Chains A and B, each alone.
Chain A
Amino acid sequence: MMTKIAFVRKKEIPPSAPPITEVGLIGWLRQNLFSSWLNSILTVLSVYFIIIMLWDFIPWAYGGHWNTKSLRECLDLDPDVACFSVLTARWKQLLFGLYPAEEYWRPTLTFIFLLLAIVPILFPKFFRFFWFSIIYPGLAVWLLWGGSFWSISIVYVGLTLGALFFLTVIRRYLKNYMIAAILAFLFTALFFLFISNPLVGLLNVILPISLPFVESLKMGGFTLSLIVGVTGIVASFPIGILLALGRQSNLPVIKMICVGFIEFIRGVPLITLLFVASVLLNYFLPPGTNFDIVLRVVIMVTLFSAAYMAEVIRGGLAGLPLGQHEASASLGLTYWQSQRLIIMPQALKISIPGIVNTFIGLFKDTTLVSIISLRDPVGLASTIRADQKWNGIYWELYVAIGFMFFIFCWGMSQYSQYLERKLKTDK
């Protein structure tokens, strides 16, 4: 006998709640920690190892001494716990290096302003305060290095005048961006060559505002890490974008320059570049030029991470379907419009993990400047350990330094995850 193949649904089945073992805490535990015998064993083992590690670490750290005069004293009291007294005694040095003690307020204020200046960049709803992010670099340089307020401000004045000149030429006279840019460049150069110095001199006489000068070799500790790290991050990002675009360019010369630069910089260890910055660069520069050592290091670190950044962004660009380029072209957008509005927003979004990876790497690589005898926290750790009182200490110092770096890097990673969630548009 044949079975009937005709079938018609008689009643609709309404949706119902899932079984209790699949939801809530129990469901989560079952799914994530105890989903099979093997997973249950691994869960128990992992918990066991975590407990063992904390078993020793917590009493060591919690019972640590904070107020002894030397390592000897710590060991005499209790050799089994941490001797954080070294931090109590030397924390100012770890934060500010050799910066003059009576001027500590300056790097502190610079740091507070830094936190304020990055808010408009990180969170678009505060974008109306972006002007502060723009004046921040000048403000930071003035606060950290000191000198006349006017000699920093004049840079802003010159650049603003140059930009206005450019816009005026474009609006009023000719609509050729290339020629306008060259004219604006000449205008700005003339301003800095002939007008800015007398003007600064005049302003210094009329209204002298200045801070005591602090030389670059005095910069140290986390102040130095942040100077190099933050400048490197901010500067390497746009350079990386341009290099990535250049590498994809149809113009062979631009492409060759970008590929050559990226491959060369990536192929050379950062330490080598830092040595070049500290020693060799003087051979290439005209005799008598004294190129600031921190600036040289910042440039090298920037170029180094820009090369990595370019490759990360190129990965993002490669991940975009060709259709996006075609669609934006078919709407009549120019190359730069389509890069800015369509391609880059998407390519950068894909590259967020890689970009933040490069940022974090750069920030930690700033510790390499200790090799060329700049006093970043790691360099200072050696200095502190050379002191008779703290000779032989290492755990406490490096744990503290590591912890500080961890806070910054973890912050960057958290922000990137927030950004990825926020930019998610497919659900």
Chain B
Amino acid sequence: MEKTKINITDEVAIHISDMNKWFGNFHVLRDINLEVRRGERIVVCGPSGSGKSTLIRCINRLEEHQKGSIIVDGTELTTDLKNIDKIRSEVGMVFQHFNLFPHLTTLENCTLAPMWVRETPEKEATEIAMEMLEKVKIPEQAHKYPGQLSGGQQQRVAIARSLCMKPRIMLFDEVTSALDPEMIKEVLDTMIQLAEEGMTMICVTHEMGFARQVADRVIFMDDGQIVEQNEPEEFFKNPKSDRTKLFLSQILGH
């Protein structure tokens, strides 16, 4: 399968320099330097506890970094709440455990943020929501509650919910890890479709097939550091560091 690279522009979407983070005394992220260009699709992998989830959670300030800087869409993340809310409304995030709002219907889950954050009129928000639900192929579930949907459907709703905010960047935090094998594909298909449309994406995932198929760059993390990054072809064929080789042999070995 050929993938399109024409989408990548020179515009910088996310710029992270010398970023450090501690949980108490535990140095969870060390000197992270990363530049993501608009339209780029990045897969972050690594053993558990390597800090990959923490890294993307720093990008929309669900975690606070203590040193270095993170600039998203030209706005630096500081303690300024207004900046944080602005960045969060531009950066969509999908979680491992979906985190849909169980007291709202699928449709309400999707229209809530546009209506309250963007002050979109309800009618328009509903139209956008239906469009997004169609994109993730579950418009018929619009009036059901999340508790009535399967895991795969819930995750697709979660993606639609993020898309309704028309984000410029999407973060995916192990979105298939909590799903049954039969449902992983439907979620990955949605993500692939999104990638092909040129969305800037950072995906923390262990789905190496997905990485091969859509990623422009694969980043391998261990012990809170970026150990290696490369184009997927090279990354999988010729890993440079021993740690990467070990990791790949562990997850691809069976």
Contacts and interface: CB of A to CB of B under 8 A. Distances in A.
B28 interface: no
Contact of B88 (A329, A425, A426, A427): A329
Interface string B44-64: 000000000000000010100
Contacts of B101: 324, 327-328, 342, 346
B145 A426 contact: yes
Interface string B85-111: 110111111010111111100000000
Interface string A351-379: 00000000000000000000000000000
Contacts of A323: 95, 97-99
B116 interface: yes
Interface stretch (A67-75, A293-301, A331-339): A331-339
Nearest to B158: A327
A341 B117 CA distance: 12
Given A327-B99, A327-B101, A345-B103, A332 B85 contact: yes
Interface residues of A, number: 22
A330 B117 contact: no
A337 B85 CA distance: 12
Contacts, number: 72
A122 interface: no
B113 interface: yes
A79 to B, nearest CB: 59
B117 A333 contact: yes
A332 B102 contact: no
Given A324-B99, A345-B103, A427 B116 contact: no
Interface string B134-159: 00000000000111100000000000
A328 B100 CA distance: 9
Q: Kindly name the residue among A326, A328, A330, A349 whose own CB sees the greatest number of chain B CB atoms within 10 A.
A: A330
Contacts of A349: 103
Given A425-B145, A426-B102, A326 B116 contact: no
B38 interface: no
A326 B89 contact: no
Contacts of B165: 331-332
Size category, B interface: 20 to 34
A318 to B, nearest CB: 16
Contact of A337 (B90, B91, B116, B148): B116
Q: Kindly name the residue among B98, B99, B145, B165 whose own CB sees the greatest number of chain A CB atoms within 10 A.
A: B99
B145 A321 contact: no
Contacts of A331: 88-89, 112-113, 117, 161-162, 165
Interface string A315-326: 000000101101
Contacts of A324: 99, 101
B89 A327 contact: no
Q: Kindly name the residue among A333, A425, A426 whose own CB sees the greatest number of chain B CB atoms within 10 A.
A: A425
A328 B93 CA distance: 10
A330 B86 contact: no
Nearest to B90: A332
Given A321-B99, A426-B102, A330 B60 contact: yes
A41 interface: no
A265 B127 CA distance: 50
Contacts of B93: 327, 330
Contacts of A341: 112, 116
Contact of A427 (B85, B92, B113, B147): B147
B95 A425 contact: no
A251 to B, nearest CB: 13
9 contacts: A326-B95, A326-B99, A327-B101, A329-B62, A331-B89, A332-B89, A332-B117, A426-B148, A427-B147
Which 5 A-B pairs give the minimum distances between C-beta atoms? Answer: A332-B89, A426-B147, A327-B99, A323-B99, A331-B113
Interface of B: 60, 62, 81, 85-86, 88-93, 95, 97-103, 112-113, 116-117, 145-148, 161-162, 165
